Chains A and B, each alone.
Chain A
């Protein structure tokens, strides 16, 4: 591979494995005597379970057991938890209903598991699951979060009256209301952020293996954070103490947040493995994925923006209802609060903000973090409001934004966040230039001559990544700290293993992380191995989500590398009889400055392990660990510019140009960063134009397969123009901000702003399907004519 340091477009080391089918995923694990699990799931959105008859299923070939919720509760398996305590504005803790891994009494969403069949083959287990007879008494269901709070709505949990989980607020309400009284202009909008299904390429899976001689469990599973999974399985679900439970997340094919959480199926697989005395494998099929992977978004908001006579923003007021589905998933409570409303200041200097968020239970699949988690919802709200306000007061959207940009740092917003560094003019300038903003009127006229409608839309997003300073999130209710760990092990011959608490499920850590070591010691990236995803191998770590593996995970590696470097220099200085301060590392060698004396990295490593001649009192070996706890969030930001052309006859939107100008701070591997942005933009465009998890009134998921749920495809998106600008993040040693979610966060408002510009009608919700655009453009043309 060669020496590829920081900034090199190194090809991904892991891709040979993935491209040639040599990856090892959870479903590739085959253990002796393994049995298969198939779940019996509710066809109803809300129903009492009145009886389960497993006799026919038990008589079928290969069936080992049929287990129910009653047995699970009887064995002391704990309820699923939500790990972030949010308090309502009146100080009361959130109202959390009980969630059992198998439900014995009342099912609350279609697809909820009530029993599990364990059989010799997957086909036998599925056939038998169909033969388990469950009697239900149907109850009325509610799927809309606003309606769920109304009097007389069906109630899901006795703990949450009116289905209200919390009624939370942030910001200074009195100051914000006062600003509105002074306002020269107020922009008001109702905004819906559509519900999404995550759809990673690899569905969830679990292989659980209980060894009764050692009372020890091994769980292979599709997790973004195996240590957190072990901690929660152990501390809350009473499966086993941590030292009796090994969690391995091998190759994982995409997560987008949905694989952060611990789901009923993993818990049941572990429990069932002990019950039947065999390893148990469960692999989700795509239908189960649609029904049970935590969904994303689903906010309904009313927002108001107050401007003074000079078009400076003086206040921002937001009311949001967040649909959390039937149960509170692991981090669900934090998404519409601390990951959302803390970003409502956008890139703008807004003196007063107040937001009120109500989280609500409904008879739908639980909702939790999905690529961006709260920040796309905030950005969509802010950037739709900015564009709309600009149009209302007759300023160009770029000029209006510029008028309100934050320009001095650090900048304390009224909603907790303190922005550390940024240059929002730089990304806006870069994007406008790249999309040839000045030439747009001519292109619009040319399109009109062909009967087409052109529009231009901007989105100046900011997000908070590098999650997060442990003490800060602890004070906001998080049940865990959000630091990261690393261990750097130099082998006797000088090759290196890095054990990281981060987890790669598509991000390319095996390459990027190796580049850090390559840069530091001048070693070939091939001589560096990244080890992750196994609680028996790697020290406790917090995993990968929130674009944290660079800013937090790599910072931990840097700290460990500092220690390794210091010790290696001491050894080299001792061996070459030089002063420690004169040792320089260059091209895989430790040199004495100003002389021709040098030792190879291998010689120094070997010396550390032979320990024949080490400085007085030094321990043998060359291996160091570090924990890194960030001091602040990081704040990636940028401008996305989107140009669309609409066919008014069909309402079809074509994205003819899309520019992303991002400031991610320091970039280690530009090619990998571009890949992250491509994926994020495509998911964001998917949300804006195509994707929607739609329920009917009875709580059935209408878009439960790819026949109806529209995933973005290659021909739905343009060739992106990507640019980066750089302000160094002062908060971490590498100056990195994070790039994993930006595309999904920043793109939806750019697309909708462009379409509404093209059709001269601002009343358009996501996804902007051809029919919606057709209807809205007819109304827009009518308005234009009047």
Chain B
């Protein structure tokens, strides 16, 4: 790791001010991606601005038709929150399946979506539930927020402060983990909103990160059952291929995970 200066921000405004002063600064949340990257000398920020002490970025609140989760909330907190388990069980089980206990106690919602790893789990939930991302500057829909592999709409000095998830009538997430990293090789989040709107979002498999599968959404809108998606396959041409899985295999997993997610959603 190269030398760096550490700052702990007390508020969102304070964090923005610290970042403005830094030569080449980075925000730090759980550090589960940023610190390993720095240790491998693949990132060398001059300054780290720690967001974990900012009260306004923490907490989970039930807002009736939606659940608002602060960006600095850890995966463990989301996984064990009664509010989330009750309102969006698929989201609680997704958070419970991220990494290992140590990672879940450190890693955060804000850090995960800002990083937008194509194999990360949260992006599937945000897109499938039609979540709204609130930043230090604006509000964005999930579809606008995720731009591509490791790419978001965030500006350099912009901080994700919270995410608001509309409550679905049914939802579930099914993930097939990469055997080595246990990130998603294919993770499918299915959601049926109270108005009957159905959304299916896939992570881990796409070359440009999270994506929706319109054909599955249509099929499920008329028939909410595992069989409805069994015959729907995604185009392998747009999928990732690596030593752990070819595009053809990932395409198969997307269909299998979609079936399992619908079955789990009940």
Seen from chain A, the residues whose Cβ lies within 8 Å of a Cβ on chain B are: 123, 126-127, 130, 287, 649-651, 690, 692, 694, 702-703, 706-711, 769-771, 774-775
Contact = CB atoms under 8 A, between A and B. Distances in A.
6 contacts: A123-B1, A123-B3, A649-B252, A690-B180, A708-B244, A710-B180
A708 B180 contact: yes
Contacts of A287: 40
B176 A771 contact: no
Contacts of B249: 651, 770-771, 774-775
A438 B180 CA distance: 36
B253 interface: yes
A477 B256 CA distance: 56
B181 A708 contact: yes
Given A127-B2, A130-B41, A771-B244, A650 B181 contact: no
B64 interface: no
A245 to B, nearest CB: 34
B180 A707 contact: yes
Residue among B40, B179, B181, B245 facing the most chain A CB atoms (10 A cut-off):
B179
Nearest to A130: B41
A206 B252 CA distance: 49
A207 B2 CA distance: 24
Given A130-B41, A769-B244, A771-B244, A707 B181 contact: yes
B246 interface: yes
B243 interface: yes
A770 B182 CA distance: 13
A690 B256 contact: no
Contacts of A649: 252, 256
A710 B179 contact: yes
A690 B2 contact: no
B176 A650 contact: yes
Main secondary structure of the interface of A (DSSP, over half): loop
A706 B180 contact: yes
Contacts of B252: 649-650, 774
A53 B1 CA distance: 23
A701 to B, nearest CB: 11
B243 A694 contact: yes
A692 B243 CA distance: 10
B180 A709 contact: yes
A527 B202 CA distance: 63
Q: Which 9 A-B pairs have the closest CB atoms?
A: A710-B180, A771-B249, A707-B181, A649-B256, A710-B179, A771-B245, A708-B180, A694-B243, A702-B243
A703 B243 CA distance: 9
Nearest to A691: B180
Interface string B173-185: 0001001110000
Given A287-B40, A650-B176, A769-B179, A708 B3 contact: no
Contact of B179 (A123, A127, A770, A774): A770
Contacts of B180: 690, 703, 706-711
Nearest to B3: A123
B236 to A, nearest CB: 13
A301 B1 CA distance: 43
Interface string B25-62: 00000000000000011000000000000000000000
Given A126-B41, A650-B252, A771-B245, 19 more contacts: A127-B2, A130-B41, A650-B176, A690-B179, A702-B243, A706-B181, A707-B180, A707-B181, A708-B243, A709-B180, A710-B179, A711-B180, A769-B179, A770-B176, A770-B179, A770-B245, A770-B249, A771-B244, A774-B249
Contacts of A127: 2-3
B106 to A, nearest CB: 17
Contacts of A709: 180
A650 B179 contact: no
A123 B41 CA distance: 11
Nearest to A767: B179
Interface string B226-248: 00000000000000000111100
A708 B256 CA distance: 23
Contacts of A708: 180-181, 243-244
A276 B181 CA distance: 42
Contacts of A770: 176, 179, 245, 249
Nearest to B259: A649
Nearest to B179: A710
Nearest to B246: A771
A46 B146 CA distance: 41
Contacts of A775: 249
A769 B180 CA distance: 11
Contacts of B176: 650, 770
Nearest to B186: A650
A287 B40 CA distance: 9
Contacts of A690: 179-180
Nearest to B185: A770
Contacts of A651: 249
Nearest to B252: A774
Contacts of A710: 179-180
A650 B252 CA distance: 8
A200 to B, nearest CB: 18
Nearest to B2: A127
B263 to A, nearest CB: 12
B178 to A, nearest CB: 8
Contacts of A123: 1, 3
Nearest to B255: A649
A127 B41 CA distance: 10
Residue among B181, B243, B244, B246 facing the most chain A CB atoms (10 A cut-off):
B243
Interface in B1-29: 1-3
A47 to B, nearest CB: 21
Contacts of A774: 249, 252
B214 to A, nearest CB: 23
Contacts of A771: 244-246, 249
A249 to B, nearest CB: 28
B198 to A, nearest CB: 23
A692 B249 CA distance: 19
Given A127-B2, A702-B243, A650 B253 contact: yes
A574 to B, nearest CB: 64
B44 to A, nearest CB: 10
Contacts of B256: 649-650
A710 B181 CA distance: 8
A400 B256 CA distance: 40
A62 to B, nearest CB: 12
Contacts of A650: 176, 252-253, 256
A708 B245 CA distance: 12
A206 B100 CA distance: 32
A703 B176 CA distance: 20
Interface string B113-148: 000000000000000000000000000000000000
Nearest to A770: B179
Contacts of A692: 243
Contacts of B244: 708, 769, 771
